[in-house]
Structure 1
Amino acid sequence: MRKTLLVNRRSALKLVAAGTAMLSSPYIIRPRPAWAENGVLNVTTYDKFLPQDFLDKFQKDTGIEVRVRLTDDQGKQYNLLTAEGANPSTDIVTVAGHRYSQFIQSKLISAIDIDKISNWKNLNSVYQDAKWARVEDKLWGLPILAGYEGLARNTDYVKEADSLEIMFDPEYKGQTSYIVSDFLTLAMQYLGYDGDFVSYTDNRELAQKATNDARDLLIKHKDMVRKYYDAGSEVQQMFINEDIYLAHSWSGPVAKLIMEGHPIQLSAPKEGTFGFVYTLNIVNNAPNQENAYKLLNAVLADPAVGASMTRQSGYSSTINGVADLLNDREKMAATLPQNQLERVIFFSSVNRDMKNELVDRATAEVKAA
């Protein structure tokens, strides 16, 4: 997971932004410096997530040698930790919040002790004790980067987009586009239902009704849509060609357009939208746990670290003060106003099978209508 892709709900872990590329790689082993006398720290993460200048400073300040192994897939991290069992070769992994349950149930990661992270207060309040991050009444990771979906618009033609209602406005007939499976869950939010299915665990009948109502809404307004798309490159090209003025999109492809100077903006609708968060997680039985806490604390010590993460990855930072360090175009590409950020519902790991089944069926029915 960094070609520019559009993430749908089944591939949310491959969200791209700003044209970077994430490639799987073996350990990046750097020569052990003479001053590294206080141990090592092994980190598995994605390309561009931890800035090299930050790692260099951390190593210099602490004497801890950081060994980075790159990954491009959550499943690969899970399989590696499972295979290593009680003797892991890594101390920190990078897990998306809606994958927590899988790692926690397999006892692969440890709950974090925020008392050991003195800079926790520098984390944006939206993430400090978020519901998605708390499992078994414990917190399981340090949120570092977030991606979200919303309403993308060409600001030359669409001045405001604060509600999903605009996607059904006849004024934009034939000038809208979306990923059916993802927009269907937002349509559920628009209709007052739970688009993430968390509240439907024991109520399949209501889940089916909610899905059917959203499906029928999209079929009713099918003439609004110029094209259903699947890849981020498709929606980018439609915006560039001015084939569309309005779309549902994930933040990655839109960030790239904004950084290239196109008159595009993304907003979180008032009915709520969805997002996911990458977190740094301490591995269960991590051999260098104390060093891991030192790195988590250092990530939060300076908003410049978060700004660098955002510039490199295209994702939104979770750290307070980052927006103040970005230029206007960077802010438009990678940040949301606080009131809109509070509208983002971060994907839960609860009830995924039911959600996948009902949404996949409804998606096929919308496309076939």
Structure 2
Amino acid sequence: MKDFTVNRRSTLKLLAAGTGVLAAPAIIRPAFAQSKVVNITTYDKFVPQSFIDQFQKDSGIEIRIRLTDDQGKQYNLLTAEGAAPSTDIVTVTGHRLSQFMGSNLLAPLDTARLKNWDKLGPAYKGAPQLTVDGKTYGLPLLAGFEGLARNTEYTKASDSWEIMFDDEYKNLTSYIVSDFLSIVMRYQGSDGDYVTYENKADVAQAATDKARDFMIKHKDKVRKYYDAASEVQQMFVNEDIYLAQTWSGPAAKLIMDGHPIEISVPKEGTYGFLYSFNVVNNAPNADAAYAFLDAILSSPEIGAAMTRQSGFASAFDGVDKVLDDKERAAMALPPEQVERVQFFSSVNRAMKNEMIDKATAEIKSA
């Protein structure tokens, strides 16, 4: 399998292009062919309830959703189920695609079966994160980045990640440990995505250990480590924290809801990602899966609803014209900050995952 990286030009195109309540999780039963059912594993607030209701009415296909909050959980489930998966569609980030493909968990997307394929934003057709050996392995959904979120009423402006370690904000910050570790490595001048550390395990380990030790030293700044977007949103709303490393989506949602939050990309830079819907290899309801994918592409209003719920930038064409000024502003970045976003690569993921996971456990237990 040919691996891929994402250059700065494609990063800028994807970010520039992007500018209800979820269905209650249903129990996904053991896999067997059910032409009127589609089983989807996805994140909270990714599929609008209004779309679910209309799709089920028009198609007669029942949508069953299993919520997830972690790529690794999806991967482990599919791996355990092997050739008899219980889900038809999963939600994968571009930089994790090679891991799923390496275990033969995803099927190439037959775009000829999607009459609405042309309704993707131009920058997302053939997105490099989802293209391997000329084949497409997912329907682009939403793009985002890791940002510095701050309560503008209680914090000073800053263009550096250094503010997360300022004594002034002791016990007032929060982050996802594994995600922030990569950011800290970048802050320290190391490669937080491990691309340049291929076949350099000793260099990678030294850089990881340096970031780990720095985060342990500054644990007193952290109110709580979080995992789910709803946790960091609630901490901001309750004013339990003033600063956080967070995905752009949850922060943008707070801004759209009128909270005094700002999201920015500090001068040291950050990492971006692209979510996609992916058809599972041996999906028990492949026809229903394609009907679902084609329907969700059918209107920019659907993409706009997904953006309003998640806060992430849509991959669908025309969504920017549906969003209002406040909603567009919540996701807008100055050009110089867009330049600081580097999309995660799939290169050297095994080394990165192993070292990050080990360091994360050590930080939490310190």
Q: TM-score, normalised by structure 2?
A: 0.70
State the match for 1:8 in structure 2: none
Gaps of 5+ in 2: 1-19
Give the deviation of 1:45 after TM superposition: 3.8
State the match for 2:25 in structure 1: 23
State the match for 1:66 in structure 2: 61
Q: 1:345 to 1:296 in 2, by over 3 A?
A: farther
Task: Check whether the contact 1:176–1:226 (CA below 8 A) recurs between aligned residues.
Answer: yes
Q: 1:233 to 1:68 in 2, by over 3 A?
A: closer
Q: Distance in 2 between matches of 1:234 and 1:48?
A: 14
**Any idea what SS the aligned residue of 2:206 has?**
helix
Q: Distance in 1 between matches of 2:159 and 2:276?
A: 29
Q: 1:338 to 1:20 in 2, by over 3 A?
A: farther
Aligned length: 335
Look up the equivalent residue of 1:211 and give its one-letter code: T
Deviations 1:194-247 (A, max 9, x none): 212233231112212322443455567x39x63252126765566456565433
Q: 1:281 to 1:363 in 2, by over 3 A?
A: closer
**Any idea what SS the aligned residue of 1:185 has?**
helix
Look up the equivalent residue of 2:120 and give its one-letter code: L
- Is the aligned partner of 1:254 residue 2:256? no
Percent identity over paired residues: 50
Q: Distance in 1 between matches of 2:247 and 2:364?
A: 20
Look up the equivalent residue of 2:66 and give its one-letter code: T
State the match for 1:112 in structure 2: 109
State the match for 2:260 in structure 1: 263
Q: 1:260 to 1:199 in 2, by over 3 A?
A: same
Q: 1:174 to 1:51 in 2, by over 3 A?
A: closer
Give the deviation of 1:150 after TM superposition: 0.8
**Any idea what SS the aligned residue of 1:72 has?**
strand
Look up the equivalent residue of 1:23 and give its one-letter code: P
Look up the equivalent residue of 1:51 and give its one-letter code: P
Deviations 1:12-31 (A, max 9, x none): xxxxxx9968634347xxxx
Answer 1 or 2: higher relative contact order, Cα 8 Å, separation at least 6.
Answer: 2
Q: Distance in 2 between matches of 1:312 and 1:64?
A: 24
Equivalent residue in structure 2 for 1:195, among 170, 192, 205: 192
Q: 1:227 to 1:43 in 2, by over 3 A?
A: closer
Give the deviation of 1:191 after TM superposition: 3.5
Look up the equivalent residue of 1:185 and give its one-letter code: S
Q: Distance in 2 between matches of 1:365 and 1:88?
A: 34
Equivalent residue in structure 1 for 2:221, among 219, 226, 232: 226
Task: Check whether the contact 1:175–1:245 (CA below 8 A) recurs between aligned residues.
Answer: no
- Is the aligned partner of 1:182 residue 2:179? yes
State the match for 1:300 in structure 2: 297
Task: Check whether the contact 1:42–1:67 (CA below 8 A) recurs between aligned residues.
Answer: yes
Deviations 1:124-166 (A, max 9, x none): 4554444432334532000213454210012235575444354
State the match for 2:270 in structure 1: 273
Task: Check whether the contact 1:152–1:264 (CA below 8 A) recurs between aligned residues.
Answer: yes
**Any idea what SS the aligned residue of 2:180 has?**
helix
Deviations 1:273-325 (A, max 9, x none): 23444322233355775665454344333211111122344444222332332
Q: 1:201 to 1:255 in 2, by over 3 A?
A: same
**Any idea what SS the aligned residue of 2:258 has?**
coil
**Any idea what SS the aligned residue of 1:100 has?**
helix
Q: Distance in 1 between matches of 2:316 and 2:159?
A: 25
Q: 1:365 to 1:135 in 2, by over 3 A?
A: same
Deviations 1:46-76 (A, max 9, x none): 465333543565577xx74323121124646
